[in-house]
Amino acid sequence: METTLTLKFRGVEAELLEEMISSGLFASKSEAIRSAIVKYGMDLGLLRRRHLWARLNRLPRRKVSPAQLKKDIERIEDET
């Protein structure tokens, strides 16, 4: 199943979304929004942790080198 959306954010929602990206928590706005939907589904009891992890483990992993991971962590630590 796939759904495509066009969303417009203003005010606090737009600022929060930008902060999630600029802080390095998420690589893109789409990734942040997808994560928020999954979290909300879990909060509502629509998605169980065990079921979520089983589905996530079937997805291909992102490949991040140890050097890139170290660089990303240092960048985040410098911002705080």
Helix (H, G, I), strand (E, B) or coil at 79: helix
Q: Tell me what pLDDT residue 48 has.
A: 79
Residue 75 to residue 53: CA distance in whole angstroms? 28
pLDDT(17) > 90: yes
Task: Give mean pLDDT, residues 7-31.
Answer: 93
pLDDT(80) > 70: no
Spatial contact of 74 and 67, defined as CB atoms under 8 Å apart: no
Both tokens of residue 10? 């203003």
Question: Which residues are within 8 A (CB) of 9 and not within 5 positions of it... i.e. 6 or more apart?
Answer: 17
